[in-house]
Amino acid sequence: MARFVVILGAVTKPGRLNKAMTRMCELASEAEAGVETDLINLADCKVAFADGRAPQDYGDDTASVVARVMAADAVVIATPVYRGSMTGALKNLLDQLPIEALMGKPCGIVAMGATLHHYLGAEWHLRDVLTWFGALTAPTSVYLASSDFEQGEPAENARSDLKALAAAVLKMRVLTSNADGYLGPIPLAARKQ
């Protein structure tokens, strides 16, 4: 059984992106039978600022959130666009993760902004960070704007894109399972000096 984890990198009260990611979990279950989903909403978790300590040394939710990501077979990372990039809360969680948490793991990206003007900002920055991890990132992402919602819920076009991304990330999982968990050379960040 595949474990499909969605990380929602916003600390604001649940809104449209939360509804879209809840729907994405449902769509992942539709895309592949037997998929176990887990939505990590950073608004519900207290993740300490990364300062070099081990996750279990913080005394908050940091260790459990890191463990949930480590246990994933496939990950989708979602963020609202803040100042043309991902949220600080999401970047902080990524800073807490050991390289093994995402190395060789299929990952998808979802970003959301009020308009289409910033559709690549968060995606580019996330791709840079996911490359550092050596994650297997889906070639295309989903960008949601206000126009992709009807009465606060993802519209049909948004649901279709979310389902396609979930299916792609789950299909990519097969590539890594046939390649001893990793494709290509080990990322530089994981090499022992």
- pLDDT value at residue 178: 61
Q: Are 165 and 141 in contact (CB under 8 A)?
A: yes
- pLDDT value at residue 13: 84
Q: Where are the alpha helices (DSSP H) in the chain?
A: 16-31, 62-70, 88-96, 121-133, 156-177
Q: Where are the domains of the chain?
A: 3-190
- Kind of pairing between the strands at 149-150 and 153-154: antiparallel
Here the tokens at position 129 are 């960070």
142 vs 165: CA distance, rounded Å: 7
Neighbours of 84 (CB within 10 A): 13
Q: What percent of the chain has pLDDT over 90?
A: 76
- pLDDT value at residue 186: 82
Q: Are 148 and 60 in contact (CB under 8 A)?
A: no
DSSP state of 140: S
- Name the 3-class secondary structure at 182: coil
- pLDDT value at residue 61: 97
Neighbours of 115 (CB within 10 A): 10
Q: Are 133 and 73 in contact (CB under 8 A)?
A: no
Over residues 101-128, mean pLDDT: 88
Question: Looking at the DSSP assignment, which residues form a beta bridge with residue 60?
Answer: none
- pLDDT value at residue 180: 62
Residue that wins the pLDDT comparison between 60 and 11:
60
Q: Does the CA dihedral 170-172-176-182 come out positive or negative?
A: negative
Q: At how many degrees (to 10) do helices 62-70 and 88-96 cross?
A: 70
Half-sphere exposure of 133 (CA within 13 A, CB side): 26
Q: What is the pLDDT of residues 27-39, one digit of tens each?
A: 999 988 899 999 9
Q: What is the pLDDT of residues 160-180, one digit of tens each?
A: 999 999 999 999 988 776 656
pTM of the entire structure?
0.93
Q: What is the pLDDT of residues 42-94, one digit of tens each?
A: 999 999 999 999 999 999 999 999 999 999 999 999 999 988 889 999 999 99
- As a CATH number, domain 3-190 is 3.40.50.360
Q: Tell me which residue has tokens 């126009």.
A: 147
